[in-house]
A and B are shown apart, each in its own frame.
Chain A
Amino acid sequence: METYYHPKDLAKFSDMSKGNPQLWDKFMAYYGAVFADGALSEREKALIALAVAHAVQCPYCIDAYTQSCLEKGSNAEEMTEAVHVACAIRGGASLAHGVQMRNVVNQLSM
């Protein structure tokens, strides 16, 4: 195995049903309900999913939700902004933890 990630593995996602079909079915029913039109549109939810995919750094999710965003009418500019939202929150989260660092520094310092 030359790499852990293979694009063709995305199509094998449903293989995960084999270990426990009941849990798989519950997950898929939930998943389908989450992404259906609701208070947020399918298009908006796909943009959120794209941002989260970048935050969790899942190449399969990035592949799938890039296509999904395009197929729901989003454009590259909107999708880029969604990725920047993920980036800002990830970066902001690091920075916010700097307060913890400063608390420790203040605690230990004279």
Chain B
Amino acid sequence: MAMTLLARGTPLASSREQLRTLGATPGCGPFQQRMAAAGLAPLTATGIEVFQINVGKFCNQTCRHCHVDAGPERTEQMSRETAQLCMRALAATDIPTVDITGGAPELNENFRWLVEQARALGRRVMDRCNLTVLLLKPQADLADFLAQHQVEIVASLPYFRSTQTDAQRGDKTFAKSIEALQLLNRLGYGREGSHLVLNLVHNPVGAFLPPRQEALEAQFRRELWRQHQIVFNHLYTITNMPISRFLDFLIDSGNYETYMQRLANAFNPAAAAALMCRHTISIGWDGTLYDCDFNQMLDLPVRAPAPRHVRDFDPAQLNHRRIVMANHCYGCTAGAGSSCGGATAQ
């Protein structure tokens, strides 16, 4: 299994070093200037539709592109006290969607409590699942729990073949992912007429942009059915963000400058206008508030005067806050755009 940047002790484990690298990229001007030229600066939120909780960095996998630098040795985990603050904040709003992520969020001891509470509040709950977690022995009842609470599963599967999937996510991950998807299908996930939603996520296995979402979804649907009789609802294509372990890969493989220029050259104003940070609030394992999960990993909290901790959650101040931007944001504005819900523009 690959090691986290933190375990390797590399300078890039520091968010400050990542931001320094991103800010000094030749041929890739400041993102804020690009947004200003497109008439989109300052960028402001348009309300909050997604309450995204990152419960921590612990994970049973060490994927090569992980923007969290998650892994088995990471100890950052959301406490019950912070989870309670999250639910108190949620209850005081009518934000419709709760998106729980990590790490492997299911391995946080408060995950199931969060799901139960959010569902009791009548909110749609999404679980960003790495699939292999469903096969861990201590999690033998996890799939049933998710189905019972009608949790929408957003499952990572970069490709419908093992070579590419294992190259990104580790040896034998593809075979385990297929087994987990078949388990979910047996429970009714992804099946026509079922209320159990199973969406897949594709991240490119390398330094290139994702395919057109609609075309790749058709390809996944055909191949997963043909080879494994697996069905699913939708496929989301997500661009690899040039931070953390993917940034390390880019630099190590000599692709960094070309990739950044590729992102900058593919800047799409329509995707920029539809950025997910405009309708998302991201909450870190310690309760800190961010515009998105990527800003969270770069230690870029929401801009004052918006409150910076979930204990002070104030929709009036957060709904129209100014978004914090840096050069990694080119990842979400390239081509068809990218968000936790896939492409954002044509």
Show the binding face of A for B, using Cβ within 8 Å: 37, 41-43, 67, 70-73, 75-77
Contact = CB atoms under 8 A, between A and B. Distances in A.
Contact of B163 (A70, A72, A75): A75
A42 B210 CA distance: 14
Contacts of B210: 71
Majority DSSP secondary structure for residues of B touching A: loop
B209 interface: yes
B17 to A, nearest CB: 28
B215 A42 contact: yes
28 contacts: A37-B215, A41-B215, A42-B212, A42-B215, A43-B211, A43-B215, A43-B219, A67-B208, A70-B204, A70-B206, A70-B208, A71-B204, A71-B208, A71-B210, A71-B211, A72-B211, A72-B215, A73-B211, A73-B215, A73-B216, A73-B219, A75-B159, A75-B161, A75-B163, A75-B164, A76-B163, A77-B161, A77-B163
Nearest to A76: B163
A37 to B, nearest CB: 8
Most buried by B among A37, A72, A73: A73
B49 to A, nearest CB: 29
Interface in B185-215: 204, 206, 208-212, 215
A79 to B, nearest CB: 12
Interface in B250-283: none
Contacts, number: 30
Rank and list the top 5 A-B pairs by shortest CB-CB distance, nearest first. A73-B211, A73-B216, A70-B208, A72-B211, A71-B209
A57 B135 CA distance: 48
A55 B284 CA distance: 53
Given A37-B215, A72-B215, A75-B161, 9 more contacts: A42-B215, A43-B211, A70-B204, A71-B204, A71-B208, A71-B209, A75-B163, A75-B164, A77-B161
Interface string B56-92: 0000000000000000000000000000000000000
Interface of A is mostly: helix
Contacts of A67: 208
Contacts of B161: 75, 77
Interface string B151-167: 00000000101011000
A71 B240 CA distance: 12
Contacts of A70: 204, 206, 208
Nearest to B164: A75
A108 B216 CA distance: 58
A70 B259 CA distance: 14
Interface in B141-175: 159, 161, 163-164
Contacts of A76: 163
A75 B216 CA distance: 12
A72 B206 contact: no
A77 B164 CA distance: 11
Contacts of B219: 43, 73
Contacts of A75: 159, 161, 163-164
Contacts of B206: 70
Contacts of A72: 211-212, 215
A95 to B, nearest CB: 33
B322 to A, nearest CB: 33
A77 B162 CA distance: 12
Query: Which interface residue of B159, B161, B204, B212 has the most chain A CB atoms within 10 A?
Result: B212
Contacts of A42: 212, 215
A81 B43 CA distance: 46
Contacts of B204: 70-71
B245 to A, nearest CB: 20
B220 to A, nearest CB: 9
A62 to B, nearest CB: 15
B150 to A, nearest CB: 31
Contacts of A71: 204, 208-211
Nearest to A78: B161
A70 B216 CA distance: 11
A84 to B, nearest CB: 18
A43 B216 CA distance: 9
Which of A41, A43, A71 is most buried by chain B, counting CB atoms within 10 A of its CB?
Answer: A71
Contacts of A77: 161, 163
